[in-house]
Amino acid sequence: MEMLAAIGMMAPIDLAALAAVVLIGLPHGALDGAIAIHLGLARRAVSFLSFLLLYVGMSALVVGAWLLAPTACLFAFLIISLLHFGAGDARHGTGWLRSAEVIAHGGLVIAGVSQMHRPEVDVIFGYLTGQDTMLLWQGIDILTAVVGVALIVCLAQALWYRKWRSTAAELGALALLFAMAPPLVGFAVYFCCVHSARHISGILGALRRDMSRLAMINQAAAFTLASWVAGGLAIWWFADIGDPQPVVMRVVFIGLAALTVPHMILVDGFFRRSTRSLKRQFISR
């Protein structure tokens, strides 16, 4: 009870944003088991257990690497998050234009939020690394320049092609959100209402033939509950009652990193490729 009371003393808006990420955004990755079944990686009990062990093992490796090299791992996490978010949001480009669209969308989230609220984000980065953040910001500054070029490319496309105007409008709306809202709030709104919503909608549509909606919901609920329990135990074990915010931030975001790596490999490395292959086969017919 003392720990809950201490956490309740955190800034209400930051606490609400973190709660939204954990309670609303995190479950979108809990459909990874259903994706593995859809791809034929975990149709039997033995293969499903092997998938779970590999998934958990990769997550544990991420946590271990973070503890050994937090600054390098945080920067790597920012980059893979940029690519993952962008891959989920990109709609129109092909070839190098798709790469530009991915970087523009994902980069606006990662570099945009960081640069628009640099002092506040620097405090969070300090919590996540426990180290000086100068080198981290140097990397983010270089990344921001690349994102800026990608944004210019997307906006230029919108001037010439009507279908790109929805991309420009979305980027503009997100830029306004990130500029106006506190960093955790802006990220939470994007993560829950844009990224997670799109992911769940696409996954449910693609997997409907392999599993019932109820089965997918039950499986996602089990995965989500397991992650909540693990995170809660980590906060209870490591948090300082006098100042729980650093550990809460570390558990939430390092936990996201640990889950994002296997999630990204499964979704971006296997599922999206499989989906694009099926689309090409359908079109060729």
Place of tokens 């844009």: 194
The number of angstroms, rounded, from the C-alpha of 32 to the middle of its chain's C-alpha atoms is 14
Residue 92 has a pLDDT of 76
Tell me the two tokens of residue 189: 């709104």
Q: What was the pLDDT predicted at 183?
A: 93
| Whole-angstrom distance, CA of residue 4 vs CA of residue 144 | 38
Q: Over the range 102-135, which residues count as b (16 or more CB within 10 Å of their CB) and which as e?
A: bbbbbbbbbbbbbbbbeeebeebbeebbeeebee
In whole angstroms, give the CA distance from residue 40 to residue 62: 25
Q: What angle do CA 39, 40, 42 make, to 5 degrees?
A: 110
Instruction: Walk along the chain (285 residues) and give the pLDDT tens digit of each residue.
Output: 444 455 555 677 877 888 888 777 776 667 777 777 777 776 677 777 888 888 889 989 999 999 899 999 999 999 999 998 998 888 876 788 889 999 999 999 999 999 999 999 999 999 899 888 999 999 999 999 999 999 999 899 888 888 888 889 999 999 999 999 999 999 999 998 898 888 777 777 767 666 666 767 777 777 777 777 776 666 665 555 556 677 778 888 888 888 888 888 887 777 766 655 434 433 333
For residue 146, the enclosing domain spans 2-284
pTM of the entire predicted model: 0.82
Locate 62 and state its tokens: 């991420």
Give the C-alpha separation, 53 to 48, whole Å: 9
What is the token pair recorded at 250? 């570390």
> How many domains does the structure of the chain reveal?
1
Q: Give the per-residue pLDDT at 32.
A: 77
Nearest-angstrom CA–CA distance, 30 and 227: 9
Tokens for 68, please give them: 């050994």
pLDDT at site 282: 32
